[in-house]
Amino acid sequence: MDNNGSHITEYKVLIRILFILLLCTFITIEITSFDLAAFTVTAALLIAGFKSYLVLSYFMHLKYESLLLRILVSMVFLLFFVIVLITFIDYSFR
């Protein structure tokens, strides 16, 4: 795949993504203004996860990249998730 044949993301799509990202930001601010303890953290992190998915796929163009790259990126996030999990298991059962 060379650049001559690569995908061009239209301006419209990018504007739409920005709009969704801004909307998510304001939803996060609204949600975190209520004190719902663990739910607040989970909700904020889920929205942040969704936002990073949008940035990775559209702004960072992953949606149109090779399968190899997409698998690699997922692996890094999976690795980080496993590290977090192991650390918290260690922390909770010490």
Partner 1 sequence: MSEHNTHIDEHRDDEASKLGMWLFIFTELLLFGGLFLVYSIFRAQYPANFHESSLELSVTIGVINTVVLLFSSMTIAMSITAIQKKNKKLTLALIGVTILMAFIFLVNKYFEWGHKFEHGLYPGSELMQLLERGHHLYFSLYFFMTGLHALHIVIGMVLLVIAYVKVNKGSIKHDKFVFLENGALYWHLVDLIWIFLFPLLYLIS
Residues that bind partner 1 (CB under 8 A): 1-4, 6, 8-11, 14-15, 17-18, 21-22, 25, 28-29, 32, 40-41, 44-45, 47-48, 51-52, 55-56, 58-61, 65-66, 68-69, 72-73, 76-77, 79-80, 83-84, 87-88, 91
**Is the separation of the CB atoms in 64 and 5 below 8 Å?**
no
Cα(36)–Cα(32) distance, integer angstroms: 8
| CB 60 to partner 1: min, Å | 5
| CB 28 to partner 1: min, Å | 6
Backbone angles phi, psi at 39, to 5 degrees: -60, -40
Q: Is the Cβ of residue 88 or residue 93 nearer to partner 1 in the bound state? A: 88
What is the four-CA torsion angle of 54, 79, 74, 61, rounded to 10 degrees?
A: 50
